[in-house]
Amino acid sequence: MPSDAKRIAELRKLIDQHNRLYYTEAAPQISDHDFDSLLRELIDLEEKHPDLITPDSPTQRVGGEPIDGFKTIPHAQRMMSIDNTYNRDELRAWYDRTLKAIGNLQSSIVDPISTITLTLEPKIDGVAVSLRYEKGQLVQALSRGDGKRGDDITHNVRTIRAIPLTLNTEDADPPDVLEVRGEIFMPDAEFQRINDNREAQDLDRFANPRNATAGTLKSLDPATAAERRLMFYAHGRGELIPNTFSSHQEFLASLRAFGLPTNEHTQTVDTFDDAWQFIESFQETRNTLGYATDGVVIKIDDHALQEQLGATSKAPRWCIAYKYAAEQATTTLLNVEWQVGKTGKLTPRATMEPVFLAGTTVQHATLHNYGEVHRKDIRIGDSVIIEKAGEIIPQVIRVDTDQRKGKEKKIAPPKSCPICKAEIAIDYDTKRLNDIERYEARCEAAKKKAEKEGAKPQLPDKPKPLGPADESARYCTNPECPAQFREKLIWFVGRNQMDIDGLGEKAIHLLADEGLLKTFGDVYNLHTQRDKLLELDRMGEKKVENLLAGIEASKSQGLARVLAGLGIRQIGASASAALAQHFGDIDTLASSDPDDIAQVEDIGPITAQSIHDFLNSPAGQHLITELKDADVKLTEERLVIPKADDTGGKSGGPFAGKTIVITGTFEAFDRNELKARLTQLGAKVTGSVSKNTDLLLAGDKAGSKLNKAEQLGIEAWDESKLIEALN
């Protein structure tokens, strides 16, 4: 025990040191693999000795419990915005005005002041945050909010490895209270990775890194923030007790010593001309940084002068942001191709005359969807103005119609999939769909009221019908379309779907390359290809046996898992479980009309139509037939769902009306599936234990939730009691 405790302390110190070297000093000394090994060792030791886990341990970055909502908390010192300008003359006017104000403050000086030290920092296009450290420990992180009050986002900020949970005190002691203002942002490479993953899950792509960062920080589940590798740079101060810093340069140097990263491109100058030279040179540099910046912040360096200059009602007088105008270029649209993505989404991709823009040569740009093409009236042969959204993704901003010569060609939307020629489905703008649904509901209410009163109904104004401008996406409806088949199959066999051990991503690509996987049904015919499997590279006797055994075992997963694995748009694990419980078998579901499907809880009319269209398309029917022929279980055991009582609540059964928390791992249940089943039985399943929790379901390695439940006197069941209650 003593040796383990000593090793835990050593590992924490090592991990904090390497985080500081990586994020603050940009001088890593070990590889990512070696760092992960240190972290894994610490996790294992802390699992062995849970009493030694502390809130500032590096292992506590990985998530914690989801929260029910955000608390709004006052800032100790107001987080003000910064005035900005887009041109040199306005920046010069601010500089001269500030020099004059400083001269007036220093009236004892006979000669007017002509220069002042300025600090220049890149203006990162991220999300502002205020970090509060007390006695060197991170105790709170607030968003900007309205400047006076911000949301408590501590649960998410703690997962960001660039932000130390405990300040380094080897060189100096931090103030008792140290509030650090800074910017949280998402590097370009991480933004691309997340968008690729979202597309694979049939989710909308984030428009730019800032939106992605904001969405991450507003997640109630810290596991989301932990999975997305956000970055942070400190650039300002809030409350300091005591305040011993005389200049911004000194403050930033101290932050770096404490382990907080600051931007390496920060520079101090003594004249306006030097400041302008930095701004001009940084405009080229910023395209090579790997994260989004939109300007330069110019600050008076001296803290005493900052205090004397003060602020307006909105912004400090001692700083200003020079913002670069989004760089644009004009080129000619040569052609448009419709690309089929991993989820079947059809995206128009523009090919243009090559043009240099924001540090790179651009020849292609996304046109997003046909609705965008129609609204902007983009035509082949047009002279178009392009810019990079968020400094990353090239997009067409507008068409220069004055340059049209009459030979431009309108872009026709695809009527079928350009790859497999299957039927397509069209999604429309959610707001327009909601407007139409509200109109129909209001009409129905008006008719009922008029009928009751014996009067003529007063109907609301009818919204215009959906048209091409309202389109948000077109999709190929064929699940076995070659453009998306492999990615869909990887999803289908995944752990939370059919859970076929041995059939991972590499194996699927290998088997598809060999022509052994062309449809979903081919998975269940691999036992007839045993000799061919044994001939493949790295497919030995034992591996093939395990693969075929995994395929055979997957046949009994049931309808909920099958539906979750088919990649039907907007259908996840919970919706699949609800559908399987409601309809019981695939034939009943497929033969139901969209209105019947929409009666299932959490299934709206748009999703219901998507399910109906998929299952009744030729491709969907072929897929169902293949799975039936392979004896895959396409039914679900129906649970007895409690009926609503007279008060509208649910009665009957041990779960009805209870708030339940699930923790640990279970042999007989998948967590998502169990959550869906309990919800169907009238329970409310939450992520964290509180005084409002009625029941804790504790599987293997239940951990801290079980401890907290015991402290609060909350009833806890093990898996055997859970199974008994469900039966």
The model's pTM is 0.54
Is residue 304 a contact partner of residue 243, using CB atoms and an 8 Å limit?
Answer: no
Residue 65 has pLDDT above 70, yes or no: no
What integer pLDDT is reported at residue 2 of this predicted model?
58
Which of 309-318, 462-471, 659-668 has the lowest average pLDDT? 659-668
Determine whether 123 is an active site residue.
Answer: yes
Specify the domain boundaries for CATH 3.30.470.30 within the chain.
99-323
* Token couple for 555: 């046949």
- Fold exhibited by the domain 659-726: Rossmann fold (3.40.50)
Per-residue pLDDT reduced to its tens digit, 1-56? 458 888 888 888 888 888 777 766 667 777 766 777 787 788 888 878 878 887 77
Residue 335 has pLDDT above 90, yes or no: yes
Per-residue pLDDT reduced to its tens digit, 578-630? 888 889 899 999 999 988 888 776 677 778 888 898 899 888 898 899 999 99
Residue 648 has pLDDT above 50, yes or no: no
What integer pLDDT is reported at residue 391 of this predicted model?
54
Confidence category of residue 707, pLDDT binned at 50, 70, 90:
confident
Residue 484 has pLDDT above 70, yes or no: yes
What integer pLDDT is reported at residue 644 of this predicted model?
39
CA angle 357, 360, 363 (to 5 degrees): 75
% of the chain beyond a pLDDT of 90: 35
| Sign of the dihedral defined by the CA atoms of residues 96, 101, 105, 109, in that order | positive
Per-residue pLDDT reduced to its tens digit, 349-400? 999 999 888 667 889 988 989 999 999 999 999 999 998 765 567 889 899 9
Residue 174 has pLDDT above 70, yes or no: yes
Confidence category of residue 330, pLDDT binned at 50, 70, 90:
very high
Determine how many CB atoms are found less than 10 A away from the CB of residue 289: 17
Pick the CATH number of 328-410 from 3.40.50.1370, 2.40.50.140, 3.40.50.360, 2.60.40.1180: 2.40.50.140
Residue 525 has pLDDT above 50, yes or no: yes
What integer pLDDT is reported at residue 650 of this predicted model?
43
What integer pLDDT is reported at residue 413 of this predicted model?
93
Of residues 129 and 478, more confidence is placed in 129
Q: How many residues does the chain have?
A: 727
What integer pLDDT is reported at residue 710 of this predicted model?
82
Is residue 206 a contact partner of residue 191, using CB atoms and an 8 Å limit?
Answer: yes
Q: Active site residue: 6, 48, 123, 415, which one?
A: 123
Residue 643 has pLDDT above 50, yes or no: no
Specify the domain boundaries for CATH 1.10.287.610 within the chain.
2-60
Specify the domain boundaries for CATH 1.10.150.20 within the chain.
477-638
Residue 109 has pLDDT above 70, yes or no: no
Is residue 563 a contact partner of residue 496, using CB atoms and an 8 Å limit?
Answer: no
What integer pLDDT is reported at residue 645 of this predicted model?
44
Determine how many CB atoms are found less than 10 A away from the CB of residue 246: 12
**What would the mean pLDDT of 628-648 be, rounded to a whole number?**
67
What integer pLDDT is reported at residue 273 of this predicted model?
94
**What would the mean pLDDT of 146-160 be, rounded to a whole number?**
90
- Whole-Å CA distances, 38 to 25, 44, 53, 257, 426: 20, 10, 16, 23, 49
What integer pLDDT is reported at residue 49 of this predicted model?
82
| Homologous superfamily of the 2-60 domain (CATH) | Helix hairpin bin (1.10.287.610)
Pick the CATH number of 477-638 from 1.10.150.20, 3.50.50.60, 3.60.21.10, 3.20.20.70: 1.10.150.20
Q: Please, what is the average pLDDT of the chain? A: 85
What integer pLDDT is reported at residue 598 of this predicted model?
82
Of residues 544 and 430, more confidence is placed in 544
Confidence category of residue 642, pLDDT binned at 50, 70, 90:
very low
* Token couple for 195: 């968008």
| Homologous superfamily of the 99-323 domain (CATH) | DNA ligase/mRNA capping enzyme (3.30.470.30)
Residue 464 has pLDDT above 70, yes or no: yes
Of residues 112 and 651, more confidence is placed in 112
**What would the mean pLDDT of 563-586 be, rounded to a whole number?**
83
Query: Using H for helix, E for strand and C for coil, what is the string for 536-592?
Result: CCCCCHHHHHHHHHHHHHHCCCCHHHHHHHCCCCCCCHHHHHHHHHHHCEHHHHHHC
